[in-house]
Chain A
Amino acid sequence: MNWLLLLEQILNGFQLGLLLFLLAAGLTLVFGIMDMVNLAHGSLYMMGAYFCATFTGWTGSFLIGALLTLPAVFILGVVVEIVALRTLYARDHLDQVMATFGLILFFNEATRLIWGPIGLAIPLPDFLNQTVEIIPGVPYPAFRLAIIITGFLVAGLLYFIVSRTKLGMLIRAGASNRDMIGALGINIRLLFTLVFGLGAALAGLAGLMAGPILSVEIGMGESILILTLVVIVIGGIGSIKGAFIAAILIGLIDTVGRSFLPEILDLILPSQTAATAAPAISSMMIYLLMALVLAIKPQGLFPPKGVGQ
């Protein structure tokens, strides 16, 4: 086995995992506090990437573009919440699924109208567009490293907000007992809007960081949305901690699995069969994991208190 490749794949796994966490954090909060299924979360991720591509083009700087994108996606999230989603909180999950499915169609089509059907590229500044040696002799792309560092920083910040601030206290109270925050006399509408905007900004951050690696294109939100849903379901809906652990787990399994599964299968299967089966099995792996987790713990690994009874 190639140990350097393994190290690189583990880092890539963390990078994917942290991106997933940024998406999952917002989604699981919206799920947990408002009991709302939001399929359009992937669209906000896509908008993050498109906004960043545009702002980078205008200003000529990726960093300024990124800094402009965050408030833009926050505002977009707030607008979407007020215009379309607010009335859906009281509805059942089926209604929410359908309405937000409608939002996906709208966002995809609007993006095609505004930016055209061809994908965009986000050019990176030189200092990010190089490799650094993480240990002597092992080069690793600086930008991916930056994603990992940003991901950990945001996760830490989020942990601080949720566990140490008043907003966080309300969020935790809301996730375990929705009626309680109402009883505390808090302006719930405002809280929901803020949380939704925060989740949108995190999704936008994930989108603008994924943009330079993957391509910025229509439909990029859907494939990652499904991965994100898998993450929050495995982690337990409403649990930030669960989302973090599940995101890293999924990131690692998906990335490392894809590169090493063919070798592993080769050991146990005839090589012809292994070669055919490997790609299918490696893309199925995380879904298998999810099925396994739910078969054993139908509420995910960390069901929030009050929901799991």
Chain B
Amino acid sequence: MTLSSRQLINTALLAFLALLPFFTDWVGDSFYTGLVARILILAIAALSLNLLIGYGGMVSFGHAAFVGVGAYVVGIGTFHAFEDGVDWMMNGYIQLAFALLVSAVVALTIGAISLRTRGVYFIMITMAFSQMLYFSAVGVETYGADDGLSIYSRSDMLGLIDLNDEKSLYYLIFVSLLLVLFLMHRLIGSAFGNVIRGSKSNEARMRAIGFSPYKYRLTAFVIAGTIAGYAGFLMANLNDFVSPDMMHWTRSGDLIIMILLGGMASLFGPLYGALAFLMLEELLSSIPLTIGGLHVGEYWQLIFGPLLILVVLYARNGVDSFLPGARKGS
């Protein structure tokens, strides 16, 4: 099997990510392992959202809510295990099962109502639902309201893997990313993926040839929400902390930015986008330039905002359009 230059680049990236903890061991600074782990989790969430936006044309503006739901399951479980001595709520597998189940049920509910609408209405109603979840998290005093919940102990995976070990956690995240990438690859090429892509391309014709897109779209919505819930499970363990801010609509906006920066039309796009997004943040905020006593880096969004507009206007496919073998046009 021969690889195209694009596949080579993708493989090189994955190889780099696989070896990263050893590099940082060697340098003796584990800060970057944590940063990259965060990027990879966000990439998982962005990948799931790209099933909706990039392949399905469903611009969901509330995806961060599912990440929050998954994360809160871990937070709430740990909370009761510590406060009320309910030991089974520490069990990582039970937490994981609930994280997936609850985010799936929430996605089913939100999707069932939202997918009745189109266009701008869909964007707005998904945003509104995510704000509902955000405000309910803000409102619940028991679970820390505004301040969120600290997670005193990471999910207990019963000795199979120790999440307290940063390297083990990193590899769990990395392998999860690989699995999600592979899952997306199969999903997009399947009969189901065909219907999702067809419904984005031409819904009227889909109906005319005998498809009812609604139930397929709803299924995609639930799949994407569940994967995002999984990302939340990982995020809670990485940060040792959950807060309503994870579900704020601007976090959903960040996920869309990642998709846009990476390029919607490609499988790897969201991964590149997540990398680009957080790298840009790191890079811009450390610009060593001082004008009239002001550190430019401190006001990095002053550059990032217009940059985003420029990407939208002139580099529609983001990072993807700079990689070899990019699809022209579209």
Contacts and interface: CB of A to CB of B under 8 A. Distances in A.
State whether these chains interact.
yes
Contacts of A237: 120-121
A106 B305 CA distance: 5
A226 B301 contact: no
Given A94-B59, A101-B253, A101-B257, A87 B308 contact: no
A32 to B, nearest CB: 10
B53 interface: yes
Contact of B139 (A107, A112, A283): A283
A109 B302 contact: yes
Contact of A105 (B114, B142, B308): B308
A287 B123 contact: no
B121 A299 contact: yes
A95 B308 CA distance: 10
Chain B interface: which size bin?
35 or more
A291 B129 contact: yes
B318 to A, nearest CB: 11
Contact of A284 (B127, B136, B307): B136
Contact of A97 (B117, B256, B307): B256
Nearest to B112: A295
B89 to A, nearest CB: 20
A298 B59 contact: no
Contacts of B124: 229-230, 233
A280 B136 CA distance: 5
A7 interface: no
Contacts of B55: none
Contacts of A233: 120-121, 124-125, 128
A31 interface: yes
Contact of B125 (A97, A276, A294): A294
A108 B300 CA distance: 11
Interface in A254-277: 276-277
Contacts of A37: 120, 123
Interface string B103-117: 000000000011011
A279 B250 CA distance: 22
A112 B114 CA distance: 36
B128 A106 contact: no
A87 B138 CA distance: 38
Contacts of B257: 98, 101
A226 B294 CA distance: 32
Contacts of A101: 253, 256-257, 308
**Which among B53, B253, B294 has the greatest number of chain A C-beta atoms within 10 A?**
B253
Nearest to B254: A101
Contacts of A230: 124, 128
Nearest to A284: B132
Given A109-B302, A280-B135, A291-B128, A103 B309 contact: yes
A301 to B, nearest CB: 12
Contacts of B116: 294-295, 298
Contacts of B53: 94
B61 interface: yes
Nearest to B249: A226
Interface string B60-74: 010000000000000
A84 interface: yes
A290 interface: yes
A22 to B, nearest CB: 19
A291 B113 contact: yes
Given A93-B120, A284-B135, A108 B125 contact: no
Contacts of A95: 312, 316
A98 B315 CA distance: 13
**Which among B53, B119, B311 has the greatest number of chain A C-beta atoms within 10 A?**
B119
B294 to A, nearest CB: 7
Contacts of B118: 298
Contacts of A295: 113, 116
Nearest to A283: B135
Nearest to B125: A294
B210 interface: no
A102 B120 CA distance: 18
B25 interface: no
A294 B118 CA distance: 11
B141 A298 contact: no
Contacts of B132: 284, 287-288, 291
A99 interface: yes
Interface string A94-137: 11011101111111111011000000000000000000000000
A94 B127 CA distance: 13
B309 to A, nearest CB: 4
B304 interface: yes
Interface in B129-170: 129, 131-132, 135-136, 138-142
Closest 5 CB pairs of A and B: A280-B139, A106-B305, A102-B308, A105-B305, A283-B135
14 contacts: A88-B313, A95-B312, A97-B123, A99-B312, A102-B309, A105-B304, A106-B305, A108-B301, A109-B302, A233-B125, A283-B138, A291-B125, A295-B113, A298-B117
Interface of B: 53, 59, 61, 113-114, 116-121, 123-125, 127-129, 131-132, 135-136, 138-142, 249-250, 253, 256-257, 260, 294, 299-302, 304-309, 311-313, 316
Given A97-B256, A98-B256, A298-B117, 4 more contacts: A94-B53, A99-B308, A105-B305, A109-B299
Interface of A: 31, 37, 84, 87-88, 91, 93-95, 97-99, 101-110, 112-113, 222, 226, 229-230, 233, 237, 276-277, 279-281, 283-284, 287-288, 290-291, 294-295, 298-300
